[in-house]
Amino acid sequence: MAKRNLPSPVFNYLDGGADDEWTLGRNTSAFEDYELLPAQLSDVSSINLKTTLFGEPVDWPVMVSPTGASKLFHASGEPAVISAAEKFGMFYSLSTLGTTTIEDVAAAGNCPKMFQVYILKDRGLTAELVARCKASGYKALCLTVDTPVPGNRERDAVYGFSSGRLRLRAVPSWMRHPGWLYRAIVKKDLEMVNLTSSDRASLKGEQSLLEYFNDQLDRSLTWKDVEWLASEWGGPLVIKGVQTVADCRHAANAGATAVMLSNHGGRQLEAAPAPVDCIADVADALHDKLEIVCDGGIRRGTHIVKALALGANACSIGRGYLYPLAAGGQAGVEKGFTLLRDEVERTMALMGCDSVAKLGSSFIRYRG
Ligand SMILES: Cc1cc2nc3c(=O)[nH]c(=O)nc-3n(C[C@H](O)[C@H](O)[C@H](O)COP(=O)(O)O)c2cc1C
C-alpha cells in the first residue's frame, strides 16, 4: 500500500539502503539464525509486556526510531505517529530532520519523547537544539554517530531523489501523485523546520537546506565531543549507530546511559553487522552500565522476542511504522503496532513466558 500511495522516488528513499543493500537485507534475515525454545506447561494466562525505558514506564518494549521528514510519507506526518505511540504507550523519537518542530511535537501527545541530534560543525546550533528539548520536556537525547558522511544510496540517485533533479523515469509517477506535489511545492509542507526555525542555519547562495545540512556533518568528531554533549544535556543520553563492545564501552565512558545497536537500517555502512547479532556480546559485557536497544530489520513479533531473549532491553522500529504511515496515516500506524504487539503476545504465550522481564538466554538458541 505504501508503494502505491507514494511517488516512486519517495517510496524508494524509504525502502532503499546503501550500495547493494546487503546489510539492509541481512538486518532482517539474521533473525533466522536464532530459534526460540519454549518452556511448555507454564502458566501464561496473562502476559506482561510492561517495562521501563530511559527511566520512563512504557507499555511494551518497542519504540519509534527517529526518521527524517515524516510528512514525505503522509500529510499527517509526525503528529499522527505520536498519537499512535501515545495510544500504545511507547517512546517517540523526533529526528533533527523532522517536518514538525521540537515544540509542536512536545505538544502533540503525552508519550515520552526522545530527540535525535547530530553534533554539527556549528556547535552553537547543536546546543540550541538541546536547549529547546530541555525547555519542551523531552525525556531522552539520542546522538546518531554513523553519519560522518551520507551513505551511498543508489536508488536515490537512480530516481533523482538525492540530487533533486527530475529523472524521466520518475515523471509518470510524480504525475500520478498531484496531491503530494501540491503539498511539497505550493504548501511547502516538507521543510526541515527544526533547522529553518533557527537563525543560526544561514544558507549560502543557491545552497539547499539539505546541502547545508550535509555540509554541517562533522567528520572530525570523537568521543570527547560526546562528553561535551552529555554535560550540555544532563539527562538520559542514547548513542545510536554502534555495533561493537569497544564502541559501547566508549559510549558508557563518555557519559551515555544507553546504546542503540544500529546500522541506520542498512542506509550507511554497507557490510555492517546486523544489530541482532551484536546484542549478546554487548549485553554480556555492559548490561549493568547501559540500556541496550536493538534497532534494524524488525518486521515480526518473533524478532522482538528474540532480541529481548538475547539481552536487549527494547527494540526500535523505523520502516515498521513508516510503511503503515504511508499506507494509512495514523490508522495505518495503529494497525501496524497492533499486528506487531499481538505477535509478541502470541509468541510469548507459545513460548511459555508470561513476562518480558523473564526473557533470557534459556529461551533462545543460535542455529548458525
Ligand atoms: C526513511 C528513513 C529516514 C531515516 N532518517 C533518520 C534520521 O533522520 N536520523 C537517524 O538517526 N536515523 C534515521 N533513519 C534510521 C532509523 O532511525 C532506524 O535506524 C532504521 O530505520 C532502523 O531500521 P528498520 O527501518 O529496518 O527498522 C531513517 C530511516 C529511514 C528508513
Percent of the chain at pLDDT exceeding 90: 89
Count Cα neighbours of 98 within 13 Å in the Cβ-side half-sphere: 28
Classify residue 112 by its DSSP letter: -
Q: CA separation (Å) from 198 to 84, 108, 218? A: 29, 21, 19
Q: What is the mean pLDDT of residues 25-48?
A: 98
Report the pLDDT value the prediction gives residue 70, as an integer from 0 to 100.
Answer: 96
Report the pLDDT value the prediction gives residue 161, as an integer from 0 to 100.
Answer: 86
Report the pLDDT value the prediction gives residue 46, as an integer from 0 to 100.
Answer: 98
Q: What is the pLDDT of residues 230-250, one digit of tens each?
A: 999 999 999 999 999 999 999
Q: What are the catalytic residues? A: 264
d(CA 286, CA 290): 6
With beta carbons less than 8 A apart as the criterion, state whether 145 and 250 touch. Answer: no
Nearest CA owner, ligand 1 atom 3? 67
Contacts of 280 (CB under 8 A, 6+ apart): 310, 311
Which atom of ligand 1 lies at the shortest distance from residue 296's CA? Answer: 23
Whether the full predicted model's pTM is greater than 0.95, yes or no, is yes
Report the pLDDT value the prediction gives residue 211, as an integer from 0 to 100.
Answer: 85
Is a pLDDT exceeding 90 seen at residue 210?
A: no
Which atom of ligand 1 lies at the shortest distance from residue 263's CA? Answer: 19
Nearest CA owner, ligand 1 atom 14? 67
Q: What is the pLDDT of residues 245-288, one digit of tens each?
A: 999 999 999 999 999 999 999 999 999 999 999 999 999 999 99
Is a pLDDT exceeding 90 seen at residue 173?
A: yes
Nearest CA owner, ligand 1 atom 19? 264
Which atom of ligand 1 lies at the shortest distance from residue 27's CA? Answer: 26
Mutate to test the pocket of ligand 1, among 94, 267, 316, 322 (most ligand atoms within 8 A of CB): 267
Is a pLDDT exceeding 80 seen at residue 201?
A: no
At 162, is the pLDDT very low, low, confident or very high (cuts 50, 70, 90)?
confident
Count Cα neighbours of 221 within 13 Å in the Cβ-side half-sphere: 24
Is a pLDDT exceeding 90 seen at residue 349?
A: yes
Is a pLDDT exceeding 90 seen at residue 151?
A: yes
Is a pLDDT exceeding 80 seen at residue 204?
A: no
Is a pLDDT exceeding 90 seen at residue 132?
A: yes
Question: What are the pocket residues of ligand 1 if the criterion is a CB atom closer than 6 Å to any ligand atom?
Answer: 14, 27, 65-68, 95, 97, 116, 144, 240, 262, 264-265, 267, 295-298, 317-320, 322
Report the pLDDT value the prediction gives residue 199, as an integer from 0 to 100.
Answer: 79
Which atom of ligand 1 lies at the shortest distance from residue 266's CA? Answer: 23
Is a pLDDT exceeding 90 seen at residue 313?
A: yes
d(CA 356, CA 119): 35
With beta carbons less than 8 A apart as the criterion, state whether 64 and 334 touch. Answer: no
Mutate to test the pocket of ligand 1, among 6, 21, 65, 194 (most ligand atoms within 8 A of CB): 65
